[in-house]
Amino acid sequence: MEHRALTFNPGPAALPLPVLERIREELLNYRGTGMSVLEMSHRSKEFEAILNDAVMRIKRILKLDETFHVLFLQGGASLQFAMIPMNFAQEGKPFAYIDTGYWSSKALKEAKNLGKEVCVLASSSDREYTYIPKDFVVEPRFSYLHITSNNTIRGTQWKNFPPTQEVPLIADMSSDIFSRTFNPHLFGCIYAGAQKNAGPAGVTIVIIRDDLLSRVPAHLPTILKYSTFVESNSLYNTPPCFAVYVVDLVMEWLEETIGGLEKMETINRTKAELLYNYLDSQDFYRNPVVPEDRSSMNVIFLLPTPELEKTFLQEAQKEGLIGLKGHRAVGGCRASLYNAVTIEAVQALVDFMKEFVRKNG
């Protein structure tokens, strides 16, 4: 097989090799239909079977009961930033947000754009988003509490989700869904762009608890109502069929090859510890995040100078280590260790980092 790069891209990110091989195998003739999924009608029984299989696998993997609906939408997490407040507002009740960085800031900005009252319940902006806030109280007066479970740009992650009592907890889980076990019944709604752990760019997974559908206002445009997609099994308009198909294959890989979330979490913990243990053992590279809040998905590290960072990224790319540049908003370096990134790839990165220090330290 041709040589493949080791990709640490933050998204679109690495896909499991067996999934890519399966796509290649089925691309021209999907299971005897004589056509590609790319050409298939979204109203066909073949595509409905793909979609329904993806839904059932997601429900099994996350241990969702019958009170949850799994939807496939378009527009990325960015559209959900607006759809959440549009669908789930309650009269006279402000929205609560916890600001842990770039994407959570964007989410609360969209809520404010709707002219609703927004309460920033807690923020870690005072220390450049290097920790997860823990000192706050969720009052019953809120319509919902919104968090970003993992912060791709700042490299922090919620290890324990905040108790909210009767206030629905809503989470953007774009960058750590399917990476670890958690209790989904703590949440009223979970949404995630697929392009990090679940599939390719172009489809967003939205999981909604049934009781929240009663909040959806009648006056919203039809395509912006969650109820529309629940009632149509995500087939109100043409969905991103090929992206849903790839999500189904990734879920099959996660369930049948990896063996579920417990196994995936163990692998991801091993990868993160491998890199963090190295970072903590030396003083050339620096991770700015409070250790207890470090992300297992996105590992941030800084070199002594911007010039060395530039050289590091150039040499890494020559070695086939791709996607290590930090987000344009913050700079530095970042290794995204999503599910499809192997332990061997992380070891290769650590070996390269050691050699770079030997030459430049």
Which amino acid, one-letter code, is at 300? I
Nearest Cα neighbor of 239 from 26, 32, 60, 75 is 75
- Note if 103 is an active site residue: yes
Q: pLDDT tens across 237-287, in order? A: 999 999 999 999 999 999 999 999 999 999 999 999 999 999 999 999 999
Task: Judge residue 239's burial from the number of C-beta atoms within 10 Å of its C-beta, 0-12 exposed, 13-18 middle, 19 or more buried.
Answer: buried
Residue 244, pLDDT score: 98
Residues of the chain with CATH 3.40.640.10: 18-257
Residue 145 host element (H or E): strand 145-148
Active-site entry in 59, 158, 172, 176: 172
Residue 21, pLDDT score: 97
CA angle 66, 68, 73 (to 5 degrees): 135
Q: Does domain 18-257 have CATH number 3.40.640.10?
A: yes
Sign of CA dihedral 342, 344, 347, 348: negative
Q: Are 245 and 57 in contact (CB under 8 A)?
A: no
Which CATH fold topology does 260-360 show?
Answer: Aspartate Aminotransferase, domain 1 (3.90.1150)
Measured CA to CA, the distance from residue 195 to residue 250 in angstroms comes to: 11
> Would you place residue 2 in the very low, low, confident or very high pLDDT band (cuts 50, 70, 90)?
low
As a whole number, the mean pLDDT across the chain is 97
Q: Are 143 and 163 in contact (CB under 8 A)?
A: no
Residues of the chain with CATH 3.90.1150.10: 260-360
Residue 335 host element (H or E): strand 333-336
Residue 303, pLDDT score: 97
Active-site entry in 99, 103, 271, 325: 103
- Note if 158 is an active site residue: no
Contacts of 358 (CB under 8 A, 6+ apart): none
The length of the chain, given as a count of residues = 361
For 265-278, letters b (16+ CB in 10 Å) and e give bebbeebbebbbeb
Residue 67, pLDDT score: 97
Q: pLDDT tens across 133-155, in order? A: 999 999 999 999 999 999 999 99
- Note if 196 is an active site residue: yes
Active-site entry in 196, 225, 271, 325: 196
24, pLDDT greater than 70: yes
Q: pLDDT tens across 152-188, in order? A: 999 999 999 999 989 999 999 999 999 999 999 999 9
Residue 330, pLDDT score: 87
124, pLDDT greater than 80: yes
Q: What is the DSSP letter of 102?
A: H
Rounded CA Rg of the chain: 21
Residue 361, pLDDT score: 81
